[in-house]
Amino acid sequence: MKNKNQLLREYIKEAQLGKKAVGHFNISNMEGFWAVVMGAKELNLPVIIGVSEGERDFIGVKEIAAVVKSYRESTGQPVFLNADHTYSFDRVKEVVDAGYDAVIFDGTELSFEDNVLTTKRCVEYAKSVNPEMLVEAEIGFIGKSSKILDAVPDGVGKMTAVEEAKAFVDATGVDMLAPAVGNVHGMVKGGEPALNIPRVKEISDAVKIPLVLHGASGNSREDVRGAIESGVAIVHINTELRVAFKQGLMISLQENPDEISPYKYLRVARTAMQKVVEEKLKLFNNL
């Protein structure tokens, strides 16, 4: 088992040095929680549970923080909690105060200047409450929906400029950066656009902090590995988990139409998600 006292930033640094990545998986219920922690435990790997604003409003902002903290303390398993895609300082403050391990301020719809100002404010508040809390920010647009898409959303094709990324990191002091490098939230029917691996490397060399790949559901194994080897230290998966949950649940209900015990018919859905988690963690860690 990993060292339960090791910090998330240390796991991320280890991953980056080893050309690996920490898996980040979004959840919105306890089936998702167990799928992620059981999959990570099976492979003895650290893992990050992500909850977007909508997901944490559904499962409970403070409640999921209590679940993760309690589980980590009682088992020693390195499971961490990240407040994914957070769109205002007030909601960043909410998760900082709730004891999350990391938070992402998403100011991609703001001007560059306003994104810098709000991100810097988020960093300063987070560090004042918990110096070890990690703050991530985004520049560049990769879409907003974790769902099946008919086409790539307008505006997604524009890549994050290297100079802009460096200026942003220097001005804000963020711990991690999520750039736009051809990635897109959700899964595009017919296949994902190719990632710009050279751009990942250029941004990584310029900013000298860990990069985060959002919207990795549906990307090819070769692209994901290429991004990791070029500086990505965390990879986000959400849509593929949602698809697995829904398909598993539908199969379970169809095969057991008279079953009314949720813990029985939800088990298939949980197992389907855990399989995705394990497959992705093996890919991220070159296993």
The pair phi, psi for residue 191, each rounded to 5°, is 120, 150
pLDDT of residue 158: 73
pLDDT for 49 equals: 98
pLDDT at 1: 40
Catalytic residue IDs: 84
Would you state the pLDDT for residue 194?
Answer: 77
| Residues 213, 234 contacting (CB under 8 angstroms) | yes
Instruction: Give the pair of three-digit tokens for residue 164.
Output: 């802009």
pLDDT tens by residue, the chain, 287 residues: 445 568 999 999 999 999 999 999 999 999 999 999 999 999 999 999 999 999 999 999 999 999 999 999 999 999 999 999 999 999 999 999 999 999 999 998 899 999 999 999 999 999 999 999 999 999 987 655 555 545 455 555 578 899 999 999 999 999 999 998 887 655 544 555 778 899 999 999 999 999 999 877 778 899 999 999 999 999 999 989 999 999 999 999 999 999 999 999 999 999 999 999 999 999 999 99
CA atoms within 13 A on the CB side of 217: 26
Least Cα distance to 264 among 247, 249, 279 occurs for 249
| Calpha distance 27→221 (Å, rounded) | 22
Position 181 scores a pLDDT of: 87
Domain limits of the chain? 8-284
pLDDT value, residue 38: 98
d(CA 28, CA 45): 21
pLDDT at position 3, please?
Answer: 52
Q: Are 65 and 100 in contact (CB under 8 A)?
A: yes
**pLDDT at residue 126, rounded to an integer:** 98
| Of 17, 18, 49, the residue nearest 34 (C-alpha) | 49
Query: Hey, what CATH class is 8-284 in?
Result: alpha beta
pTM: 0.91
